[in-house]
Amino acid sequence: MSEFLQFVFSGLTVGAVYALVALGFTIIYNASSVVNFAQGEFVMLGGMATVFIFDAGVPIWGAAALAILLTATIGILLNKLAIEPARGASVVNLIIITIGASIFLRGLAQIVFDKQIHRFPAFSGDTPFNIAGATLLPQSIWVLFGAAAVFIGLYAFFTRTLMGKAVLATANNRLAARLVGINTNFIMALSFALSAAVGATAGVLVTPITLTSYDIGVMLALKGFAAAMLGGMGNPFGALVGGLLIGLIEATTAGYLSSDYKDAAAFIVILLTLFVMPQGLFGQKSMERV
Partner 1 sequence: MLTRIPPRVRALLILSILILIAPMLFPSSFYYRIGTLIFINSIAVIGLVILIGYAGQISLGHAGFSGIGAYACALAPTHLGLPPFLSLILGAVISGLLAWFVGRPILRLKGHYLAVATLGLGMLISMVLNNEAQFTGGPDGMMVASLGLTKGLEGLFDVNLKTSVVWYWFAGVMVLLGAWIALNLYNSPTGRVLRSVHDSEIAAKTVGADVARYKLVAFVISAVYASIAGSMLALFNRFITPDIASFLHSVELVTMTVLGGAGSVLGGIAGATLLTALPQALTVFHEYEHVMLGLIMMLVMIFMRDGLLPTLRKTLTRRAIA
Partner 2 sequence: MKLKQVVKTTTLAAAVSAMTALATPALAEVLIGSTLAITGRASFLGDPEAKTLAMLVDEINAAGGINGEPVRLIQYDDGGDPNKARTFATRLVEDDEVVAVIGGSTTGTTMAMVPIFEEAEVPFISLAGAVAIIDPVKKWVFKTPHTDRMACEKIFTDMQANGISKIGMISGTGGFGKSMRGQCMDVAGDFDIEIVADETYGPSDSDMTPQLTNIKNTDGIQAVVNPGFGQGPAIVTRNYRQLGIDLPLYQSHGVASKSFIELAGDAAEGVRLPAAALLVANNLAEDDPQKPVVMKYIEDYQTATGEPVSTFGGHAYDAFKMLAAAMETAGTTTDSAAIRYALENTSGFIGTAGVVNMSPDDHLGLDLSAFKMLEIRDGDWTIIE
Q: Which residues bind partner 1 (CB under 8 A)?
A: 35, 82, 85-86, 89-97, 99-108, 110-111, 218, 222, 225-226, 229, 233, 260-261, 263-264, 267-268, 270-271, 274-275, 278-280, 286, 288, 290
Closest to partner 2 by CB, 128 or 164: 128
Examine residue 7 and tell whether it contacts partner 2 (CB under 8 A). yes
Distance CA 73, CA 122 (A): 26
Binders in 201-240 for partner 2, by CB under 8 A: 206, 209-211, 213, 215-216, 218-219
Interface with partner 2 (CB under 8 A), residue from 33, 81, 126, 176: 126
The radius of gyration computed from the CA coordinates of the chain, to the nearest angstrom, equals 19
Angle of CA points 39, 50, 153, to nearest 5°: 55
**Cβ 215 to partner 1, closest distance in Å?**
10
Under the criterion CB under 8 A, does residue 137 sit at the interface with partner 2?
yes
Residue placing its CB nearer to partner 1 in the complex, 86 or 168: 86
Closest contact distance (angstroms) between CB of 10 and partner 2 is 4
Q: Which among 198, 207, 196, 217 is positioned nearest to 40, based on CA atoms? A: 217
Among 9, 54, 158, 192, binds partner 2 (CB under 8 A): 9
- Locate all alpha helices (DSSP H) within the chain, ordered by sequence: 2-32, 39-55, 60-78, 91-112, 138-160, 162-172, 174-179, 184-210, 217-231, 236-252, 262-276
The count of residues interacting with partner 2 (CB under 8 A) is: 38
- The secondary element (H helix, E strand) that includes residue 83 is none
The binder of 135, among partner 2, partner 1, none, by C-beta within 5 to 8 A per type, is partner 2
Chain-centroid distance, C-alpha 258: 27
Nearer to partner 1, 47 or 280 (CB): 280
Tell me if 17 contacts partner 2 by CB under 8 A: yes
CB of 203 to partner 2, least distance (A): 12
| Chosen from partner 1, partner 2, none, partner binding at 267 (C-beta under 5 to 8 Å by type) | partner 1
Q: Which does 229 bind (CB under 5 to 8 A by kind): partner 2, partner 1, none?
A: partner 1
Angstrom CA distances, 282 to 55, 100, 229, stand at: 43, 30, 9
- How many residues does this entry show for the chain? 290
Nearest to 49 by CA among 214, 198, 242, 170: 214
Minimum gap (Å) between residue 181 Cβ and partner 1 = 29
How far apart CA 117 and CA 114 sit, in angstroms, is: 9
Positions 22 through 81 that interact with partner 2 (CB under 8 A): none
By CB under 8 A, tell whether 112 contacts partner 2: yes
Q: Which helix (H) or strand (E) holds 130?
A: strand 129-131
**At residue 156, what are phi and psi to the nearest 5 degrees?**
-60, -40
Cα–Cα distance between 143 and 248 in angstroms, integer? Answer: 15
Q: Is 85 exposed, middle or buried (0-12, 13-18, 19+ CB in 10 A)?
A: exposed
Residues that bind partner 2 in the complex, under the rule CB under 8 A? 3, 6-7, 9-10, 13-14, 17, 110-112, 114-119, 126, 128, 135, 137, 206, 209-211, 213, 215-216, 218-219, 251-252, 254-255, 259-260, 262-263
